[in-house]
Structure 1
Amino acid sequence: MNIEFKWVGGSTWVLKIQNLKIACDPVLCPAGTIQDYKLFKTKRLEDPVFTEDDFENIDLWLITHGHEDHLDQDGLSRIKKGCKVVTHKNALARLRKIKEAEIKVLNWGEKASYEIKGINISLEAIPAVHGVNPIVALLAGGVNGYWLDISARDASRSIYVTADTVLHSKVTQALQGRHADLLIVVCHAL
């Protein structure tokens, strides 16, 4: 099974498996953009690196949560009708603007399955905890990580997408006994 991975920047990436394309958290604002979260502000340090072709014909979008450093207006415009979107509930209001996209909300532990272009995808929302301090984590809001089991013909791969998380007992408990072939970690500081 041939897998191609492209990191666009921050939490945004595109994964190509044969002719299937999966992308995550489209944030495409330029370097210098300020994102205001009321309690604090962040500034994008680097421009995202992508071509328009990178976001053509995305079959499945994974949205970890609704913060602007995971889903901005430029990125939202790349999610096209006809694609499938799996998301945390706090991004749903923004995603509803996309006409004719198939949107599925998953809570931690919930699963979804798809057969797209001859490839079977089983995914599960994995806990992701925004901070070590419980108050900070609560104020920052909910986040989904994702576990994907992908199979085509005689090959299969398991992929873990961490999202914005710290090492927490909820995360380690959900991952117990699992072994990922590919680990995709959020890289905001880069």
Structure 2
Amino acid sequence: MCVGLGAARQVIGVSQERLQFRHDFHAHALFFTMETERERARREIRRRSWLGHLWHEWIVESRRPIAPAFAHPTPESWSNDDLTAAWIGHSTVLINFFGIKILTDPVLFPRIGIRLPFLTVGPKRLTQPALTFAELPPIDLVLLSHAHFDHIDRRTLKLFSDATRVITAKRTGDLLRETKFSEVIELGWTESVNLTPRGLEIEVRAFRPKHWGARMQYDIHRGYNSYVISRNNRRIIYGSDTAMTDAFAKLNDGAPYDLAIMCIGAYDPWIWAHCTPEQAVAMANAAGARFIMPVHHQTFRLSIEPFREPIERFTCALVKTPERIALREIGETFVLRA
């Protein structure tokens, strides 16, 4: 059992005592419940029919309250002279990259999935987003990785005004036809674009993760991306969904990446498309990342690993260098001074 506290120096709005209690409690609880929860989930998957699944989602899950986020970011107080990033939930990260406001894979509604009149058929959130759409600052750039429902949420995307650009993967722009974005830019692997929102320069380059892009069963033509974001000689990796791959090692050019945002959940049983927490750390290390932000966990039940397992395993993987953990909980904020 390993519990680290090094990230307390990197986050805002959370006391060391609160972090220590939370991690001690969950680490001990994890030891006793991890396999029990996993085996219970496996049994449910094996025995539940489609009708049973619908019953569970619309009768049982509809009554379940959504837990509040652990912390509440205050982007209005962030300095444009710093690199600041807050985990809003799942793969949604709000970034102030030296004055440019970026939002990755925005998903802010209670459910994801197929939208029907008056309802959405799909998983319900476990944890509320740390910010509502109304609480977000004006966004310069939305970054979309691929077309899966937990990454391209059309209800959320329709809320943005024409003051915002969007970068998305190849052959996914058709999903954005009913949005108001001022510009929709599709990038393929190795392609890059230079933008100047409000006169501020930024470069975004796409690279290939080990994943897949189909939104429905048969649209396998859709692209899927990870990204490198560069500004003021500083760099961020947005890894998005990926299994273990050498693509991150190929990014290593001898210069460090300031932050790697890495997905660490949904690996059981989807290990062919989603990395384990240990693999996420290994890929960020291979790229040369200074700090690592773990995302894609604690928000939706998309797999069978227990709720706290990904973050506990991630913490253990960095037990010797806990100061590299950018944050651990939904709503926490990471700041890297210029």
Question: TM-score when scaled to structure 1?
Answer: 0.79
More strand per residue: 1
What is the rounded CA distance, in whole Å, between the counterparts of 1:61 and 1:170 in structure 2? Answer: 23
What is the rounded CA distance, in whole Å, between the counterparts of 2:83 and 2:247 in structure 1? Answer: 29
- TM-superposed deviation, 1:119: 2.5
SS of 2:257 mapped into structure 1: coil
- Give matches, 1:71-86, under 5 Å: 71-86=152-167
- The answer on whether the counterparts of 1:63 and 1:91 sit within 8 Å (CA) in structure 2 is no
Q: CA 1:34–1:181 in structure 2 vs 1: closer, same or farther (change >3 Å)?
A: closer
SS of 2:178 mapped into structure 1: coil
1:17 pairs, out of 97, 106, 109, with 97
Q: Which residue identity lines up with residue 158 of structure 1 in the other structure?
A: R
Q: Which has the larger radius of gyration?
A: 2
Q: Which residue identity lines up with residue 235 of structure 2 in the other structure?
A: S
Match of residue 55 from structure 1: 136
Deviations 1:37-63 (A, max 9, x none): xxxx75532222203344341001111
Q: CA 1:99–1:43 in structure 2 vs 1: closer, same or farther (change >3 Å)?
A: closer
- The answer on whether the counterparts of 2:209 and 2:239 sit within 8 Å (CA) in structure 1 is yes
Q: CA 1:4–1:171 in structure 2 vs 1: closer, same or farther (change >3 Å)?
A: closer
What is the rounded CA distance, in whole Å, between the counterparts of 2:140 and 2:105 in structure 1? Answer: 14
What is the rounded CA distance, in whole Å, between the counterparts of 1:71 and 1:161 in structure 2? Answer: 15
Question: TM-score when scaled to structure 2?
Answer: 0.46
Deviations 1:107-140 (A, max 9, x none): 0000100122342111100111128xxxxxx969
Match of residue 29 from structure 1: 109
- Give matches, 1:19-168, under 5 Å: 19-30=99-110, 33=111, 35=113, 43-99=124-180, 101-130=182-211, 142-151=223-232, 156-168=233-245
Q: Note if 1:8 corresponds to 2:88.
A: yes
Deviations 1:77-110 (A, max 9, x none): 2332132111002431111222352111000000
Gaps of 5+ in 2: 1-80, 115-121, 213-218, 264-294, 299-338
Q: CA 1:75–1:8 in structure 2 vs 1: closer, same or farther (change >3 Å)?
A: same
- TM-superposed deviation, 1:3: 1.8
Q: Note if 1:188 corresponds to 2:188.
A: no
SS of 2:184 mapped into structure 1: strand
Alpha-carbon RMSD across the aligned residues, in angstroms, is 2.5
Q: Which residue identity lines up with residue 55 of structure 1 in the other structure?
A: L
SS of 1:185 mapped into structure 2: strand
Q: Which residue identity lines up with residue 165 of structure 1 in the other structure?
A: T
- TM-superposed deviation, 1:15: 0.6
Gaps of 5+ in 1: 132-137
Match of residue 176 from structure 1: 252
- TM-superposed deviation, 1:72: 1.2
- The answer on whether the counterparts of 2:211 and 2:224 sit within 8 Å (CA) in structure 1 is yes
- TM-superposed deviation, 1:14: 0.8
Q: Which residue identity lines up with residue 187 of structure 2 in the other structure?
A: L
- TM-superposed deviation, 1:13: 1.2
Alignment size in residue pairs = 173
What is the rounded CA distance, in whole Å, between the counterparts of 2:154 and 2:223 in structure 1? Answer: 20
Match of residue 323 from structure 2: none
Match of residue 134 from structure 1: none
- The answer on whether the counterparts of 1:88 and 1:142 sit within 8 Å (CA) in structure 2 is yes
More helix per residue: 2
Q: Which residue identity lines up with residue 113 of structure 2 in the other structure?
A: Q
What is the rounded CA distance, in whole Å, between the counterparts of 1:52 and 1:100 in structure 2? Answer: 15
Q: CA 1:53–1:150 in structure 2 vs 1: closer, same or farther (change >3 Å)?
A: farther
What is the rounded CA distance, in whole Å, between the counterparts of 2:128 and 2:152 in structure 1? Answer: 15
Bigger Cα displacement from structure 2, 8-17 vs 68-77: 68-77
